[in-house]
Structure 1
Amino acid sequence: MKKLQSELAGGLKISRVLTGLWQIADMEKDGKVLDPVITSEFMAPYVKAGLSTFDMADHYGSAEIIAGTFRKKNTLGEKAQMLTKWVPTPGKSSKEATRAAVELSLRRLQTESLELLQYHAWNYLDPIWLDQLFWLNELKEEGLIKNLGLTNFDAAHLRIACTSGIPIVSNQVSHSLIDQRAGGEMAKVCKEFGVKVLAFGTLTGGFLSNKWLEKEEPNTKNGATWSQMKYKRFIDAAGGWEKFQQLLRILDKVARKHRVSIANVATKYIMDQDYVGGIIIGARLGQSTHLNESLRLFDFELDAEDLKVIHNAQKILSPIPGDCGDEYRKAPFLTASGDLSHHLETMPKTHEAIVGPNGSTKVFSGTPWEPMAGYCRAVRKGNRISVSGTTATHKDRLIGGNDPEAQAHFVLDKIEGAIVSLGGQLEDVIRTRIFVNNINDWEPVARAHGQRFGHIQPANTLVEAKLVGKGYLVEIEAEVEI
């Protein structure tokens, strides 16, 4: 019997192959608005075939409206799962704004409770992302949301969210034979906390297919879809077109063995990873469908020899830089435009710098200890910035629970946010000092420091010290010279 569904934490059952509606935005990018009644009817064949889960977002054109119309107007609508996302603009926000965003999706989807809301954060240096997750969790407890997920989170910040009491069930990230990042630290964190990866980009914008085998390198500057422009950048980052062709040739041999397509083999390999809850294949509703191709995924199995061959083929490629989601936060920006210009207008600084005495400027992170003890988070004078000893405190909350690695990552976010707000960058750090409450925690803390400073390698000291405050496992300070 074909296993078409998988189950996420929280009991949410979804299709192992989800239908992605991001191309609705591409279909409407010239100002055209699709008719929701007509377009929604093209969702019915997927549900009839057992692929009943659809993935969308608040910014995928009118995708939520189309899905809501299908839910109400079609008799198959009640059998479908509608997963959506909230992608707020960076900068300060409020609980009221969070509620308004959720209520907008509820109205569009014509439902009383969102089955899965997946949250995206642009900037980890501003802890508003944690506020928004805490507010979303309150709305979950209120019943407006059934399950919470993330999208484009890296492993460190998935860990922070999970250890801080947010019940995360999934993280939607790019994952393919080209983009192998999710198979590393992300897979480990997912297994540790019972989170499943929802993988998009498994076909690399359609490039992982027979259509591109032995074809010349395309020019994606004219006439290409957003997906093609985006994923050609991934191919370039992985070593270029010739290495990509080598991979296609190997996949073609495996595909011929099973009498399926290259796309089937590439997708099946990702779908069968134990940390993957589902893979997302985009559809242009009313224009093209890959339904039969998707159903072929359940008609064959990759054997041990296939897996070995594919694994060895991946070694031809260069690793995509960074961790999951980094393509939206730091160079190289592997987006359709090669930057964030079609996503964002500006990226606000975390803190407002305040003029201090004797030509100094300073920033405050808002912890209750700063006014009580009379200090700032960081101060700049001339080209030097000094960052105070920093713990995993956000307002009146302890972030990271009893996980020293999660606490360390959040501390380093706070430190970097202060430095950037004063005109510096993490690469300007020349010394760090780490204090752990229990010396047994030194290794996960050092590992977090290594992940953030491995390319910088400042002078560093790590010692055991009795920290002030219940629950704090690590405190870090930094010296910066710009």
Structure 2
Amino acid sequence: MIERISLAPGLTIARALTGLWQIADMERDGRELDPAVAARAMQPYVDAGLTTFDMADHYGSAEIVAGTFRTAGGYDASQVQCLTKWVPEPGPVSAADVRAAIDRACARLRTDRIDLLQFHAWTFADPRWLDALWLLEAERDAGRIGAIGLTNFDTAHLRVAIASGIRLASNQVSGSLIDTRFTRKLAPYASQHGVGILCYGTVLGGFLSERWLGAPEPNWDALETWSQMKYGRFIRTAGGWEKFQGVLRAAHTVAAKHGVSIALVASRWVLDQPGVAGVIVGARLGQSQHVADTTRLFTFALDDEDRALLAAAQAALDPIPGDCGDEYRTPPFLTASGDLSHHLSSFPAPFITRPGHDDRTLALSGTVWEPMAGYSRAVRKGNRIHVSGTTATHGSRAIGGDDAAAQTHFCIDKIAGALQSLGGRLEDVVRTRVFVSQVDRDWEAVARAHGERFGHILPANTMVQASLIGDEYLVEIEADAELS
């Protein structure tokens, strides 16, 4: 029996989701799959109870294939769940942009309502990612979207979204025996707030399989698929081929004990982690289905001995650095190309800049306070950038609710955006000053959030108690940076 879980009101999914990202890989030579032929290859999944499919606006013709299947007849379309993603370019987002994205997805999926729309933000230094989520909330309230999810959000920014009142069903991130970042902070926080974690990459693009057990290290420059190119970087970051073989051997021992494949052991381990709602198993429709094998994911259980054996092998690995989603935002970029060149052409400046007097350059974030009080978000003169006291404000909205850590992260995001707009980055910061309104209650949450963001930089820092302007503001931060 396929395990199922309620992800949101009216949305129950199979805990093994079928991922259609490999359609983009199958079409990367410029050809397009025949939608009718590819759609027929979805039927065996539904027949086996694997009724949930994951796709995105940039997975080649995946949405078109799924839409073709939805209208092909011969089954109850209401029993199939199509989860898709919206991955806009960084920069400003308008209501028209959001409506156009939803209209396009609905047209391709041949539906008037999207079951779950998952949003990806390329950068958090540009606060306009929150505009997109508020606009998606309006579309959900209008009935165009059943539920809103995220993809590749770290814990800090999941926290900012939740504390700002965004109602979320899920967050889709990388998770595997090799990449255990999701278990550290993200899954516990998400579980606490009713957000299900959906993990992709559970079999590392096929590397977690018998094919690679005892095999020589591959030529990393001559791999077959984008998934292998991507997860090859994860393997090397985790300590290399020999340490990876240790995990493979442990998984093989467990697999032999239960009479299943290494891939199933790898996926079951992820599925058993607290807070995980489902695992996404990729399919090359018409080529590599694995339907029968995937259904066996629910026929066995890992015991304490199995978990201990796997944990011992994992202990030899180097931890994947950072939090979930960092592979798309900070070096080392653990993507197929090793950078973002196949995703983006550029990042626009988060804030408006203009010349000031005496060879200064000014950055303006657009809050109501700046024109009223006559100041800039940040000023650059020469190789120095001075960032004004920054609160968790975006336009006329207060961000982060009564969560001091969420407010701190958003303040630091705005500081990063100001620095980026003036040619700097957080790593250039040499001093921060932190003002906390309720220091007895919030100092530790603020300090820990500051430590998460500046722990690798270690600027000079001062924290003081202060009465801030506006009862909604729990923290204010200013920063000085020097560019080398």
Q: TM-score of the superposition, structure 2-length normalised?
A: 0.98
Aligned residue number for residue 183 of structure 1: 183
- Determine the structure 2 residue equivalent to 1:453: 454
Q: Distance in 2 between matches of 1:402 and 1:75?
A: 51
Which string of whole-angstrom CA distances, capped at 9 and with x for unpartnered residues, describes residues 302-354 of structure 1?
11111122122211111111110111111101111111111111112212321
In the TM superposition, residue 11 of structure 1 has moved relative to its aligned partner by 4.2
| Equivalent in the alignment of 1:21 | 20
Over residues 123-180 of structure 1, what are the superposed CA-to-partner deviations in whole Å (9 max), with x where a residue is unaligned?
1111110000100110000100010000011110011111111111100000000101
Per the alignment, residue 43 of structure 1 pairs with 42
* Contact kept? 2:254, 2:265, Cα under 8 Å: yes
1:17 partner amino acid:
A
Query: Structure 2: any 5+ residue segments left out of the alignment?
Result: none
The farther-off stretch of 257-266 and 115-124 is 257-266
Contact 2:387 2:478 in 1 (8 A): yes
State the distance in 1 between where 2:467 and 2:91 align.
Answer: 35
| Mapping 1:47-446, distance limit 5 Å | 47-76=46-75, 77-439=77-439, 440-446=441-447
Residue 464, structure 1, aligned to residue 465, structure 2: yes
**Preserved CA contact (<8 Å) 2:283 2:290:** yes
Give secondary structure in 2 for the equivalent of 1:14.
strand
Structure-1 separation of matches of 2:368 and 2:334: 39
Counterpart contact for 2:237–2:318, Cα < 8 Å? yes
Q: Secondary structure at the match of 2:114?
A: coil
**DSSP-derived class of the 2:408 partner:** helix
- Alignment TM-score, normalising by the size of structure 1: 0.98
* Contact persistence 2:2–2:14 (CA under 8 A): no
1:9–1:194 Cα contact (<8 Å) kept? no
**Which secondary structure state, in structure 2, belongs to the residue aligned with residue 319 of structure 1?**
coil
- Tell me, in whole angstroms, the C-alpha distance in 1 between the residues paired with 2:342 and 2:203: 23
Q: State whether residues 390 and 477 of structure 2, in contact with CA within 8 Å, keep that contact through their aligned partners in structure 1.
A: yes
Q: Distance in 2 between matches of 1:291 and 1:196?
A: 24
Q: Is the 8 A contact 2:430 2:482 kept in 1?
A: yes
2:476: which partner in 1? 475
Query: Are the aligned partners of 1:151 and 1:172 in contact in 2 as well (CA < 8 Å)?
Result: yes
- The whole-number CA distance in structure 1 between the counterparts of 2:386 and 2:302 is 55
Of 70-79 and 32-41, the range deviating more from structure 2 = 70-79
Aligned CA distance change for structure 1 residues 3 and 24 (closer, same or farther; 3 Å): closer
Structure 2 Cα separation of the partners of residues 222 and 314 of structure 1 = 27
- The answer to whether the 8 A contact 1:9-1:195 is kept is no
- Structure 1 counterpart of 2:426, one-letter code: L
State the distance in 2 between where 1:471 and 1:367 align.
15
Partner of 1:430, secondary structure, is strand
2: CA distance between counterparts of 1:238 and 1:223?
18
Amino acid at match of 2:230: K
AA partner of residue 362 (structure 2): K
Secondary structure at the aligned position of 2:270 is classed as: helix
What RMSD in Å do the two structures reach over aligned CA positions? 1.0
CA contact (8 A) 2:231 2:334 kept: yes
Deviations 1:35-70 (A, max 9, x none): 111210111111111110000000111110110111
1:147 alignment partner, SS class: strand
Structure 1 residue 212: Cα displacement: 0.5
Report the CA distance between 1:90 and its aligned residue: 1.2
